[in-house]
Structure 1
Amino acid sequence: MTRLRIWWDSLLYTLWFVPALMVVGAAALAVVLIIASGHVDDEVLARWPRLFGADAGSSRDMLATIAGSIITVAGVTFSITMITVTQASAQYTPRILRNFMRDRPSQVTLGGLAGVFTYCLVVLRTIRGGDESLFVPALAVLTGFILAVVSVGLLIYFVHHTASSLQASSIIDRVVKDTYGAIDRLFPSEVGDAAAVDAVPAAAHLLDTYTWLPVTSSSSGYVQAIDPDALLDAASERNIVIRVERTIGQFVIEGGALASIATRDGTPTDPRPAGIRSAFTVGNFRTVEQDPDYGIHQLSDIAVKALSPSINDPTTALSCIDYLAAALSRAAALRSESPWRVRDGELRVIVHGPTFRSLLDRAFDEIRRYGEGNAAVLHRLLDALERLERRTGDPGRRRHLLMHVELVTEAAGRALPAPGDRGGVSVRAAALRSVLT
């Protein structure tokens, strides 16, 4: 099921799939209306001569004009889309390009315009007049006119949407929503059940005596997804333990170990790993669907790019910090997932997923390094840490928050030239430190 979902998502992340469906739909609509026009009584059409009274010549001229105009507009629309993608990549981060490729209004606009063009061509070739047996598919011709008017509205909406989608707030919001979804199904929560805490030490000691055999990757790339059901089924059917070596978001080289397998009693196991290897989806880029770390990374990249001297847009960086705090607060509300996963009371899979600590480091480390000379950025980082402090009572997580408070304080003392700025950060940090300790 996970592999099917990845395949479906990969189609939706293309600029051709939705437009192709709309072109096929437009051609089918044209055929249906042409057939329907041949079965409609001429007397019925004669009741509305202003709608259905066009002759063969005027119908041809109108549809040809619509087709020529629409294909020109489609070319302009495609150019606007490419310019938008290029500008977003240069101004924010190349890692958001897939979000623009998936942009549904852009896909629908391209598909709608290409579909109207195809529709007009299909209808145009069926019109006969002059010495030929006269045939004018009146319903299809009228529908072509209506579709042309709809295309004008679609173009106006597309221009408005493009201008809106280039705003930093829109880009950040899109990334955050994807990250929320990944956090809500934080891996490996979908892999069976968590092992009982008191059973982990004994199992860990026992597994040290096992002989582990590697399951290697057939290609190089990033682990985009892991199918939890396939992994558990393979472990249960063969009565083995699977230890995932390269988890979601990590890079694996061809021939490198994706996982290791061992039997529960320590005896050698069947070395054929095909069923286990198929549980891993490896591609040439990371995806956010099961990888919240990548969503956090995108927001951090946007903030770092905004802080660069060439962009110099600290407001965007501050907005990214706010949304990073919102995403991390969502992660803070979740319990830590055990890497020890069981099915029917038996240990089957050992797999590590992203933790609150790793996500916190990913979110704030680079922003702090590149923004340490900006007092507003350091204050906003402390604001974010203060909000996260209210969301978690876990001692380990609170210690990690305290570590980040100390890092912000050190950055202020090292990089802020004004004593007042350094003092302001120190006062805020001291207040937060007293709450965390």
Structure 2
Amino acid sequence: MGDRLRFFINRIRERLWVKPLVFSVLSAVIVFLIKMVDAAAIGQLVPAITEQSIKTLLTIITGSMLMIATFAVGSMVSAYASASNNATPRSFALIVADDDSQNALSTFIGAFIYSVVALLAMENGYYGEAGRFALFVLTLLVLTMVIVTFVRWVDRIARLGRLKGTIEKVEKAAAAAIQRRRCAPTLGGVPAQREAEPAGQAVYSDAIGYVQQIDVAALQRCAEKLKVHITLSALPGTFAAPGRALAFISSDAHDVLPVDTEQMRAAFLIGDDRKFEEDPRFGLVVLAEIAGRALSPAVNDPGTAIYIVGVFVRLLAQWSKPVAESDSDACEYDRIAVPELSSEDMFDDAFTAIARDGAGAIEVAGRLQKGLASLASIENEAMRAAALHHSQMALARAENALQLPEDLQIVRDLAGLCSNCKAE
């Protein structure tokens, strides 16, 4: 339930209207709560504040905040469009979820609602002497907060939607997903044998889309209730369709039982798009898309592809690191078998597109070989095998694309260095 709740909270964070709504409600509530200061009978102890001075401040905030909020929305929409056009539409969710921009917009709208409600309350004589003083102090605080937020937000919006900032956000999301999967490579279940074909009653999807999240705890409860074992054949990021089995059920006696699979299907959350949190490979795919767009003839930006090769080396090096026992999640679900992600699949997601699209650019092909050589030197046999395979594939593509013999010789020499790399 914790993972499912976290997943839905992250989806709420991607909704641009949630924080402004919360700030607006809180602003209106605070205006009315200020009335409680009048009940404290401290009117003789506070300085006298004229209604006109408060109304002037509130009028300034009311007149400016709506315009600033409109400007903020326009700037954010432009940043979102820039991220989609310059990077990839798959990065849109990360840009929308930017906390600084959402907080700025929420502050501007909340200040507008606060000033309107407070101005109406003042016009109707809602406050006493102490209440007016409290409202005056709070209005000054709101005005200060708006100014500070606007100055910080201008600096932030100048970077939001820029290509490098988008790449950094995708890398951060991919690194977080990789770290979670490193700590729980089987999602809390037991390892499933990849080589063995799952046997038993299949659980098929009744929806078409991508597996976004799996409630392994719910599957464990179903398995304990029915006294069966469940082997997952679909992980977050898998495309589900009616003919695609999500899991297989086998009984303790190794025979197939005709069980109701409705509750098991409900444990698989399926949607139209892949999500970053539970799907480490998706971050690699999105970064590869950005690199592919940068290498297109219309953009012709090999520097971005070279930078992303470095990002891939960082992410895959993180993936290869052994997990400390204190960070590793214990096996909680002994009746659920889950296949681990393979290094080969992750290398395919990361390097295939760059090797294909950058084969004709010596700077990209050379940096790719250097990056793969770095990964091949890591003390991890699966990682080394995948790096060597992609080094040879990239070399084969370069041999078909590069026309200058000197360029081709450089790539061959670098590929030879990759083949000779030894684990450190």
TM-score by length of 1: 0.87
Structure 1 position 378 matched with structure 2 position 398: no
Quote the residue 1:391 is aligned against.
Answer: 378
Quote the residue 1:49 is aligned against.
Answer: none
More divergent stretch after superposition (145-154 vs 262-271) = 262-271
Deviation at 1:133, TM superposition (A): 9.7
Structure 1 position 355 matched with structure 2 position 342: yes
Quote the residue 2:277 is aligned against.
Answer: 289
Where does structure 2 lack aligned partners over 5 or more consecutive residues? 324-329
Where does structure 1 lack aligned partners over 5 or more consecutive residues? 47-51, 336-340
**C-alpha contact 2:288 2:351 (8 A) present in aligned 1:** yes
For this pair of structures, how many residues does the alignment match?
413
Q: 1:53 to 1:352 in 2, by over 3 A?
A: same
**C-alpha contact 2:186 2:339 (8 A) present in aligned 1:** no
Residue among 215, 231, 241 paired with 2:203:
215
Residue among 189, 192, 195 paired with 2:189:
192
**C-alpha contact 2:214 2:236 (8 A) present in aligned 1:** yes
Quote the Cα distance in structure 2 between the aligned partners of 1:429 and 1:216: 44
SS where residue 188 of structure 2 aligns? coil
Quote the residue 2:311 is aligned against.
Answer: 323
**C-alpha contact 1:128 1:134 (8 A) present in aligned 2:** no
* Map 1:57-136 → 2, pairs under 5 A: 57-128=52-123
Give % identity: 26
Deviation at 1:401, TM superposition (A): 1.8
SS where residue 161 of structure 1 aligns? helix
Q: 1:92 to 1:289 in 2, by over 3 A?
A: same
Q: 1:255 to 1:61 in 2, by over 3 A?
A: farther
Quote the residue 1:419 is aligned against.
Answer: 405
Deviation at 1:20, TM superposition (A): 1.9
SS where residue 169 of structure 2 aligns? helix
**C-alpha contact 2:191 2:340 (8 A) present in aligned 1:** no
Q: 1:365 to 1:45 in 2, by over 3 A?
A: same
Quote the Cα distance in structure 1 between the aligned partners of 2:367 and 2:273: 31
**C-alpha contact 1:215 1:259 (8 A) present in aligned 2:** yes
Quote the residue 2:16 is aligned against.
Answer: 15
Residue among 49, 67, 80 paired with 1:53:
49
Q: 1:249 to 1:334 in 2, by over 3 A?
A: farther
**C-alpha contact 1:194 1:342 (8 A) present in aligned 2:** no
Structure 1 position 435 matched with structure 2 position 421: yes
Quote the Cα distance in structure 1 between the aligned partners of 2:224 and 2:261: 14
Q: 1:430 to 1:266 in 2, by over 3 A?
A: closer
Residue among 240, 252, 261 paired with 1:252:
240
SS where residue 104 of structure 2 aligns? helix
Residue among 109, 121, 144 paired with 1:149:
144
Deviation at 1:255, TM superposition (A): 7.2
Quote the Cα distance in structure 2 between the aligned partners of 1:268 and 1:254: 20
Deviation at 1:343, TM superposition (A): 6.8
Quote the Cα distance in structure 2 between the aligned partners of 1:309 and 1:292: 29
Deviation at 1:436, TM superposition (A): 5.7
Structure 1 position 179 matched with structure 2 position 174: yes
Q: 1:256 to 1:391 in 2, by over 3 A?
A: closer
SS where residue 29 of structure 1 aligns? helix
